[in-house]
Amino acid sequence: MRTASAITLSLLCGCTPLEERVDILYAEWCATSERVTVECVYDGDTFYVGGCSDSESDMTIRVLGVQAPELRGGDNGDEPDCYGQDAADFLADLLEGESVLLEYDVECTGIFGRTLAWVWLEGSDPDIIELLEDLGMEDQVDGNRYQVLVNELLVRAGYADLYVSDVANQIRHEDTLETALDEAIAESEGLWGACSP
């Protein structure tokens, strides 16, 4: 005879979407999601909340799972890497002054002490809707509104590659980023068409 807990577990796993089953398996992420306002962008994969510096009162957010070309101190010394300025400008245009939802994963802090987050942006900017549709991301558009995973958009639009060091144990949107990268490379988007390998 089945126990009540076995029946409950069977019901939860059998009828629950995969994303929610992962939540059940891991019980909790490192922190609950929170809404913040982006003050300024540091480069193509990092921005500040609460101010525009690395001070203790400011929160530095590292967009989880992506690696944009370096804006400062990259392969070219003091010069930005190929597409580094483009990536920083894109993220600044997209996020500065905007309210975003930070969604966390298994670990909240990276090797440099920055907060690691999946970043969700909602809005109705027609230029962003057009970009999402052009990139084949229309599933993130509902009429004249969008809810887009910024991490995925950076990769799909060719502003960033995948970054696996910080995400060795990060699982929420790993498959989404891998698919976005394959599509960006296949379409020679952004840095994949502009920069030498």
- What are the residue ranges spanned by the domains of the chain? 1-28, 31-194
Mean pLDDT of 96-116: 91
Strands 115-123 and 145-149: antiparallel
Arithmetic mean of pLDDT over the chain: 84
Q: How confident is residue 64, by pLDDT bands cut at 50, 70 and 90?
A: very high
Residue 73 token pair = 């101190």
Token duo for residue 120: 């969700």
Choosing among 2.40.50.90, 2.40.110.10, 1.10.8.60, 3.40.309.10, the CATH entry for 31-194 is 2.40.50.90
CA distance 52 to 96: 11
Cα dist from 35 to 80, 122, 148, 158, whole Å: 31, 11, 14, 26
- Provide the pLDDT for residue 164: 72
- Residues 6 or more apart in contact with residue 120 via CB below 8 angstroms: 100, 101, 102, 103, 147, 148, 149, 150
pLDDT given at position 22: 45
Q: Give me the pLDDT at residue 187, please.
A: 96
**Predicted TM-score (pTM) of this structure:** 0.82
Query: Any idea which residue has 């440099």 for tokens?
Result: 112
Range with lowest mean pLDDT among 13-17, 51-55, 126-130:
13-17
Phi, psi (5° rounding) for residue 78?
Answer: -85, -15
Amino acid at 103: E
- Alpha-carbon distances of 98 from 40, 95, 101, 107, 185, rounded to whole Å: 10, 5, 10, 25, 29
What pLDDT does 27 receive? 47
- Alpha-helical runs (H) found in 53-187: 84-95, 126-134, 150-156, 174-186
pLDDT value for 11: 40
Distances (CA, A) of 87 to 3, 31, 40, 145: 54, 28, 14, 24
What's the one-letter identity of residue 183? E
